[in-house]
Structures are given as C-alpha cells and as structure tokens.
Structure 1
Amino acid sequence: MLLDWITVISLIGIGLLLVVVELIFVPGTTVVGILGFILTAIGIWIGYAALGTNTGHVILATTVLVAGIAFFYSFRSDSWTRFALKEQNRSRVNEDEQHTLTVGQEGTTVSALRPQGTALFTERHYQVQTRSEFLAPNTPIRIVKLDQNKIIVEAIS
C-alpha cells in the first residue's frame, strides 16, 4: 500500500513537472509534454486501480488542483525570468575584422558566385557578391564597390 502511494505520487509529480517544463522551456507540443501527460495519467490510473475509486477521485481532484496552481504560478510570477534569455546578439560577421580591400582590386573566385560566394584577394578568402550575375569558380574578378561589409565584384573581361 505504501509502495502504491509512492508510485502514484512520483508519477504524478514527475508528469506535472514535465508538462510545466514543456510549457515554459520547450514551447509547442513536444515529446516532453506528451510524456508528462502520459505519466500523470498513468499515476492517476494506478491510483484508481490500486487504491480504490474514492481514493482515485481524491487523487484526480488533487492532481487537477495542483496542476492548475502550478500553471497559474508558473505564468503569473516572475520565477521563470531568471531562466529566460534576455540578451540580444547585435554583432555581425567579421565586424571587428575590417578588410583592407580597395575598389579596383583584382582577385579570383573560389566558389561559384550565384550571386554570392567566396573569392580570393591577396591570399585571403572573402565573402563577395555580384550584381545578379552568375560567375563560375576560378574566374578573374574586380571589386567595383565596397559598402560596409559587402564586397561587390564583377568579372574581368
């Protein structure tokens, strides 16, 4: 009888914890929430089967009450804000590494430019783009415009 109570309480407790974790940390319907619901249902079912109908009703009512209080407290209070991501990443790729390229400098494409790809200038690889044209690998190119971190190139004819 004590083992039945321990089993019921642990299944329902773990199940409710998984459902709360799914609601707060893993939004959407996922395996965590489904597993939590299943464990809670199994705990209630074992309460009915092993402890009787009247005790099963009490377990069901208590589980619904505890779940409602847990969900209300989880969303109402600021207890979950310490787990939430509050910082934003506003940096850009290669922002701290300024290039020393100039307009008119020549290089070759390393990958196909469709219209973006990789090019080689002074033994260094750079992300470049064309003005909506396709360039095959190993094509000689020239820089026509430098706009912040964008390097616009064209094929050398």
Structure 2
Amino acid sequence: MVNFLSNISWAALLCFGFGFLLVIVEMFHPGFGISGIFGGILLIAGVVLTATSAIQVLILLVIIISVLGVALTLVLKSVTKGRLSKILILHETQKKEAGYTGTEDLNYFVGQEGTTLTILRPAGIADVNGIKLDVVSEGEFISKDRKIEIIKVEGRRIVVREKV
C-alpha cells in the first residue's frame, strides 16, 4: 500500500515540497494567509497527483497532518523560548521614571476649586480655572453653578466635593 510513495512524480514532489514550505512560512509569519492558502492548495494538488485510491488519500492526509503537527510544535516552542520570541515579543517597557505616561497626569488639579457647569449625579462637567473637566462627586448630588473642590485624581477620574 505504501508502495505508491516510491512512484511519486516530480510534479507531486514539488507540490508537496512547496506546499509544506508555504504552510510553515505561514506558521512563522501569520498574517493575511496567502502563503497558507497557496500551501494548502499545493498540498491538495500533490495528493491529487499522487493518490489513486481513497486509502492512498487517507495515508497521504495522515502524513501531511503529522508533518504539519511536528512543524507547529516546533513553531510554538520557538515562539515561547527560541529566537522567534525575541522577534515577536516586546521586551522594552515605558516606565514613568523615563518620562512615559499612559494618560495625562492630572494630579496638579488636586486642591483646586471650580464651579459645576452641569448637575453632578454623581458625574458631570465642571470648570476649573477656565478648563472644562469631566468630574465625579463622592456620590452625592451637586447642583449646577455650585463651588467644588477637587479632592483626588485616579487616572482620568477626577473626584470632587461641594465646597461649603
């Protein structure tokens, strides 16, 4: 039964070779899938050119799946521990000490006073030194045109309290 592999044509051999190559390239450089699609088409063409019975098709499919499974195992190992992990995984960090921040630092507003432009239930808009800010009260309702004080800043969340 496996004797048919000894009579494989050059065209089928090229289809298998380039098919495996393109599918493995797709494993290492995933993207749109063009190389994977063409690789799959070439593998199917190799099976069509080689197999003369349903049993031979099944044997070839088992061989193809086995080879691609081994290749995928090697690719996944390379992604986690090998050279590929150095290419795909970002190792640099942007630390605050180096001047990088994810959001604008609004801590300089703490302690400043302003006026509510909308009703805070508990969120709304306030004017602080001519700057309109989205603010949140500590939970209580604050009417429009009331004096407020900024008590803390958590990222982009500015917490205010009514000035008495």
- Give TM-score scaled by structure 1 length: 0.57
More helix by proportion, 1 or 2? 2
Q: Residue in 1 aligned with 2:129?
A: 122
Larger Rg: 2
Once the two structures are TM-superposed, the CA of residue 121 in structure 1 deviates from its matched residue by: 2.3
Q: Residue in 2 aligned with 1:109?
A: 117
What SS does the aligned partner of 1:74 have?
helix
What SS does the aligned partner of 2:86 have?
coil
Q: Residue in 2 aligned with 1:73?
A: 78
Q: What do the CA deviations read for 1:2-28 (whole angstroms, capped 9, x no partner)?
A: 665555444433333333445xxx9xx
Once the two structures are TM-superposed, the CA of residue 41 in structure 1 deviates from its matched residue by: 4.6
Provide the alpha-carbon RMSD of the alignment.
4.3
- Whole-angstrom distance in 2 between the partners of 1:97 and 1:147: 8
Residue 82 in structure 1 maps to residue 78 in structure 2? no
Residue 14 in structure 1 maps to residue 22 in structure 2? yes
- Give TM-score scaled by structure 2 length: 0.55
Size of the aligned set, in residue pairs, is 141
Question: Could you tell me the percent identity over the aligned residues?
Answer: 13
Alpha carbons 1:128, 1:152 under 8 Å: kept: yes
What SS does the aligned partner of 1:81 have?
helix
Alpha carbons 1:127, 1:151 under 8 Å: kept: no
Query: Is there any run of 5+ residues in structure 2 with no aligned partner, and where?
Result: 1-8
Query: Is there any run of 5+ residues in structure 1 with no aligned partner, and where?
Result: none
How does 1:6-155 map onto structure 2 within 5 Å? 6-21=14-29, 36=36, 41-52=40-51, 53=56, 56=60, 60=64, 62-86=67-91, 87-88=93-94, 91=101, 93-95=103-105, 98-99=108-109, 102=112, 105-110=113-118, 113-134=120-141, 139-148=144-153, 150-154=158-162
